[in-house]
């Protein structure tokens, strides 16, 4: 199955350019491989607001429940410059499918950013997000927004990639949509993936494309897009993946001996216990489908959610 090419905003210091405050670069293998499948749009918010490389460190200060971006050495409060840049930059974006940002940064951090109660404190009072990342989440929180550190968790990586490639395919399908039939085909390909994420929304979307309420194509597209985004808000439970796997396994079980069936149920049990990842489960189902070549399942995004290289990826 082919994959559309997502447009991803990337922190410029990840693999692209040595723009970190200390003049360094963050080498990241996952982002490097992903670069073979996506268009990166690099941005360094700190350089964009006029700070040089290298530069004096900046920190986040929590003051009366509001977060300030501050450079202790120069005593500059950079909060409004960063907020204005973020608003302008994010408002200018079109056709974006996800964000891969640098962890712990007072600007880009989606997680692990140290927050202090004064500019000169040595110990943080909490961990949170960078100012730019916060704006990203406010405006694009429905998209896949992650940092390179969180993506070391295979389940988070799986969820990130599923969202990125599903939303890109949705965007491209809707951009060139000429008839409801194309949307129905799209929906059919996503049946099992949607079932894993939200059975309720799968049913809603089924009703939407059937045009049961008499909506016109434009209205259908609008509702479909909103509901589809909503479906992927959270990582599904292991129980949900087990349910879908059992449905898919039903296509092959009649060909299998009892010991082969037992092997599959042992695999599900290991998955339930958290001993293997969702990517391992998908790979096992793909192997069955390679063996029995079910045409309908071959079209299912559940078995081909993103480029195969990532199904084998281990951090
Ligand atoms: S984390 Fe963000 S602001 Fe900091 S150097 Fe990297 S791209 Fe620039």
Instruction: Report the SS3 class of residue 77.
Output: strand
Residue among 13, 81, 146 whose CB has most ligand 1 atoms within 8 A, to mutate = 13
Rounded Cα distance between 276 and 281, Å, is 8
Q: What's the gap in Å between 172 CA and the centre of ligand 1?
A: 30
Residue 35 token pair: 């670069």
Q: What's the gap in Å between 165 CA and the centre of ligand 1?
A: 25
Higher pLDDT, 249 or 213: 249
Q: 19 in ligand 1 pocket by Cβ < 6 Å?
A: yes
Q: 146 in ligand 1 pocket by Cβ < 6 Å?
A: no
Nearest to 140 by CA among 106, 118, 162, 163: 163
Share of the chain above pLDDT 70, in %: 99
Q: 107 in ligand 1 pocket by Cβ < 6 Å?
A: yes
Q: How far is CA 187 from CA 95, 214, 299, in A?
A: 21, 18, 11
What is the model's pLDDT at position 71? Answer: 97
The CB density around residue 137, as the number of other CB atoms within 10 Å, is 15
- Closest-CA residue, ligand 1 atom 4, reads 20
Residue 1 clears pLDDT 90, i.e. is over it: no
Domains of the chain by residue range:
7-152, 154-315
What is the model's pLDDT at position 314? Answer: 83
Q: What's the gap in Å between 10 CA and the centre of ligand 1?
A: 10
Prediction pTM value = 0.96
Contact 129, 109 (CB under 8 A): yes
């Amino acid at each position: 199955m082919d994959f559309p090419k997502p447009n991803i905003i990337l922190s410029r210091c990840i693999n692209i350019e040595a723009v970190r405050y200390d003049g360094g670069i963050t080498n990241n293998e996952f982002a490097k491989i992903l670069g073979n499948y996506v268009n990166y749009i690099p941005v360094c918010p700190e350089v964009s607001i006029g700070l040089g490389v290298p530069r004096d460190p900046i920190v986040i200060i929590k003051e009366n429940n509001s977060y300030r971006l501050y450079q202790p050495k120069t005593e500059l409060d950079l909060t409004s410059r960063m907020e204005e840049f973020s608003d302008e930059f994010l408002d200018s974006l079109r056709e974006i499918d996800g964000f891969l940002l640098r962890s712990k940064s007072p600007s880009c951090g989606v997680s692990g950013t140290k927050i202090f109660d004064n500019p000169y404190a040595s110990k943080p009072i909490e961990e949170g997000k960078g100012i730019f990342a916060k704006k990203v989440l406010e405006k694009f929180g429905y998209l896949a927004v992650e940092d390179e550190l969180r993506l070391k968790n295979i389940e988070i990586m799986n969820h990130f990639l599923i969202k990125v490639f599903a939303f890109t395919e949705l965007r491209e399908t809707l951009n060139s949509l000429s008839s409801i039939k194309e949307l129905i085909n799209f929906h059919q390909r996503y049946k099992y993936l949607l079932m894993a994420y939200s059975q309720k929304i799968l049913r809603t979307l089924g009703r939407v494309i059937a045009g049961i309420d008499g909506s016109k194509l434009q209205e259908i597209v609008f509702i479909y897009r909103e509901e589809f985004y909503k479906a992927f808000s959270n990582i599904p439970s292991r129980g949900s993946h087990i349910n879908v796997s059992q449905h898919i396994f039903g296509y092959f079980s009649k060909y299998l001996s009892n010991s082969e069936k037992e092997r599959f149920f042992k695999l599900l049990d290991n998955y339930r216990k958290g001993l293997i990842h969702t990517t391992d489960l998908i790979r096992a189902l793909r192997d069955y489908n390679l063996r029995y070549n079910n045409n309908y399942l071959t079209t299912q995004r559940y078995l081909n959610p993103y480029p195969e290289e990532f199904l084998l990826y281990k951090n």
